[in-house]
Structure 1
């Protein structure tokens, strides 16, 4: 029998104004990213959950991005919502700007 102790980690939300702005920018870039996937024959989910708080939304985006395991783990390991959103925006900007 395996046993473990777990302790939930709370994200450091950072500056609320900057986090909301980052979320808005990630949402915009993520919509463009999903449109690129769809144009290439990949059927992305149709519903983006806009009512999620920035931390939840950042985890949703990290999960849905087409990344290798190392890159995905790097995003999920951030304990700051602000840093995670910033990293996602950087990745999405590279993909979207290439198209």
Structure 2
């Protein structure tokens, strides 16, 4: 019975990850309808979707495999830090890599 509950919880969290990713991607899509300040290409949506989805799934993997503790918290913080750094690099090029957005 516990295995079935774990499977249902995991499916629910994955569904939430997909919904949150979609909602976040809808924000620039809606903004593009009202202003010229937001100008995303389909490739921007793909890159953001892959980045958000992979981050969400990595968090799910950590939550599923590491039950509690400081190590789990550190790993989750590192995952979120990497998300923010990659997002910032793609947006404005804070490190000056070739794939920067500016």
- Give TM-score, length-normalised by structure 1: 0.32
Q: Which has the larger radius of gyration?
A: 2
